[in-house]
Amino acid sequence: MSGRYDWIVVGAGIIGSLTAWRLAQNGFRVALVDAGAPGQQATGAAAGILSPLAEAGTIGPFTTLMMHSLHRYPDLVLELTEESGIDIQYHSTGVLQIAKEDELVRLRQRYAWQESFGAVWVTDMQKLEPSLAEYHAAIYTPKEGQVHPPLLVQAAVRAALARNVHAFFGEPVRSLLRDGLQVRGVQLPTQDLWADAGVIITAGAWSHLIVDSVSAPLPLSPIRGQILSLKTDHAPFRHIIFHQHSYLVPKRDGRLIVGATEDDAGFDSRVTASGITRLAEILQFFRISEPTFYLEKVWAGLRPKSADGLPILGRWPGQDSLYIATGHYRNGVLLSAITADIALGWATNKPAPMDLSPFHPQRFHNTILPKG
Ligand code: GLY
């Protein structure tokens, strides 16, 4: 058996699902392939935070990419809701970055460059977030917010299928079908799929399983995030709260997400005793000790992190029809909006919304020279 498409998208997390939908919206014949069910890996494990400024280290291309993606969200949500009929629980909760007394100078330095992106320096914490009244100041980004990732990926897949994307879920890619320097398709356990235009790899931390067959090992590794959710009778916070890389995310239904660890543990996505200890420290830091907050669940996911921590977006060096979109690390949900549009640009030869050279796989050219 075999099937013929314009594009084959490998990986049905949120990056791949949105990409497949965008391509199909624009008239391409698309296959969406995943080794498992859609959104089961990094997307399903994410808290759904849309906060470029809490995540950014400094001004630069990565921050610009995240801001571009955040700005696309309101329109994306309208379009996706209309096409899928699913409410992805998008809302601009607003984000507060807080600091301890001895960290205030650093926070003020962050604010100095974040002000031009719409951040506000707030000192009346009692009014904004009474549970944090003891903090003297915070960076406040009112337009940042959140979605519910499992619903987001469900909406993207439903919208894609409604646009005649063919889904091959539960079908791991065995190998790329090649013809010299052209990638022509993928081999699945049950059949071969052929792509007239190209193959786009969006398989998160697993992307190396596919592209390593055409190059030296992809400089990408999984970074485990362990995270927990609490059920509460009343929402203790209105905003998403960040302290450095730890966060609390109040969900609309009263749940509170607490995250997250950053563990270098290979492809082990189990919850560990040390992970629970770390999450307990975060709970303690944020003084989440009410006896009426009940543990709902603890889980873990693997974030795809590239060697320099930046996404990997572009045509694979030396392969004419192989593209990659991975390495989104802590910001896959946020960056999915712009990544899908960038992938559509590859298909339509439209110019990218910004200079993408800092994210191009070519930057690793010394380590990923193509195999012959
Ligand atoms: N974006 C938050 C995290 O990766 O934990």
The domain limits of the chain are 4-50+150-219+308-364, 92-144+221-306
Protein residue with its CA nearest to atom 1 in ligand 1:
330
Question: Which residues does a 6 A CB cutoff place in the pocket of ligand 1?
Answer: 47, 49, 225, 259-260, 303, 330-331
pLDDT tens per residue across span 308-359: 999 999 999 888 899 999 999 999 999 999 999 999 999 999 999 999 999 9
Q: How far is CA 36 from the centre of its chain?
A: 18
Using most ligand atoms within 8 A of CB, pick from 282, 303, 305 the residue to mutate for ligand 1.
303
Q: Is the pLDDT of residue 368 over 70?
A: no
- Say which CATH topology domain 4-50+150-219+308-364 has: FAD/NAD(P)-binding domain (3.50.50)
Q: Specify whether the CB–CB gap between 149 and 337 falls below 8 A.
A: no
* Strand 2-10, strand 192-201: pairing: parallel
- Per-residue pLDDT band for 234 (boundaries 50, 70, 90) equals confident
Look at residue 229 in the predicted model and tell me its pLDDT: 96
Rounded CA-CA distance 131/288 in Å is: 10
The mean predicted confidence, pLDDT, of the chain is 94
Using most ligand atoms within 8 A of CB, pick from 247, 261, 333, 334 the residue to mutate for ligand 1.
247
The region, left, alpha or beta by phi > 0 then psi within -120 to 50, assigned to residue 97 is: beta
Per-residue pLDDT, averaged over 121-130, amounts to 91
Residue 97 phi/psi, 5-degree rounding, is -100, 115
Peptide bond into 260 cis (omega under 30): yes
Look at residue 164 in the predicted model and tell me its pLDDT: 98
Query: Which of these ranges, 63-67, 85-89, 194-198, 218-222, has the smallest mean pLDDT?
Result: 218-222
Residue 310 phi/psi, 5-degree rounding, is -100, 155
Look at residue 6 in the predicted model and tell me its pLDDT: 98
If you measure from the C-alpha of residue 2 to the centroid of ligand 1, how many angstroms do you get, rounded to a whole number? 39
What's the whole-model pTM score?
0.96
Protein residue with its CA nearest to atom 5 in ligand 1:
260
Q: Percent of the chain at pLDDT above 90?
A: 84
pLDDT tens per residue across span 31-55: 999 999 999 999 988 999 999 999 9
- Per-residue pLDDT band for 86 (boundaries 50, 70, 90) equals very high
| Shared fold status for 4-50+150-219+308-364 and 92-144+221-306 | no
Q: Which token pair is 237? A: 């916070």
Q: Is the pLDDT of residue 264 over 70?
A: yes
Sign of the CA dihedral 352, 354, 358, 359?
negative
- Per-residue pLDDT band for 371 (boundaries 50, 70, 90) equals low
Superfamily for domain range 92-144+221-306: D-Amino Acid Oxidase, subunit A, domain 2 (3.30.9.10)
pLDDT tens per residue across span 339-349: 999 999 999 99
If you measure from the C-alpha of residue 260 to the centroid of ligand 1, how many angstroms do you get, rounded to a whole number? 7
Closest Cα partner for 204 from 314, 300, 327, 315?
327
Q: Which atom of ligand 1 is nearest to the CA of 260?
A: 5
Q: Which atom of ligand 1 is nearest to the CA of 227?
A: 5
Whole-Å CA distances, 30 to 19, 26, 50, 175: 10, 10, 28, 18
Q: Is the pLDDT of residue 369 over 60?
A: no
Per-residue pLDDT, averaged over 227-250, amounts to 93
Q: Is the pLDDT of residue 301 over 70?
A: yes
Query: Which residues are 8's β-sheet partners?
Result: 31, 199
Look at residue 213 in the predicted model and tell me its pLDDT: 80
Q: Which atom of ligand 1 is nearest to the CA of 259?
A: 5
Protein residue with its CA nearest to atom 2 in ligand 1:
330
Q: Given the structure tokens 């065995």, which residue do they identify?
A: 174
If you measure from the C-alpha of residue 127 to the centroid of ligand 1, how many angstroms do you get, rounded to a whole number? 27
Per-residue pLDDT, averaged over 217-224, amounts to 92
Per-residue pLDDT, averaged over 146-165, amounts to 98
Closest Cα partner for 208 from 297, 39, 303, 324?
324
Per-residue pLDDT, averaged over 117-142, amounts to 92
Q: Is the pLDDT of residue 144 over 70?
A: yes
Query: Which of these ranges, 15-24, 37-46, 193-202, has the smallest mean pLDDT?
Result: 37-46
DSSP per-residue string spanning 192-222: EEEEEEEEEE--GGGHHHHHTTTBSPPSEEE
Q: Is the pLDDT of residue 204 over 90?
A: yes
Residue 77 neighbours by CB under 8 Å, 6+ apart: 88, 90, 147
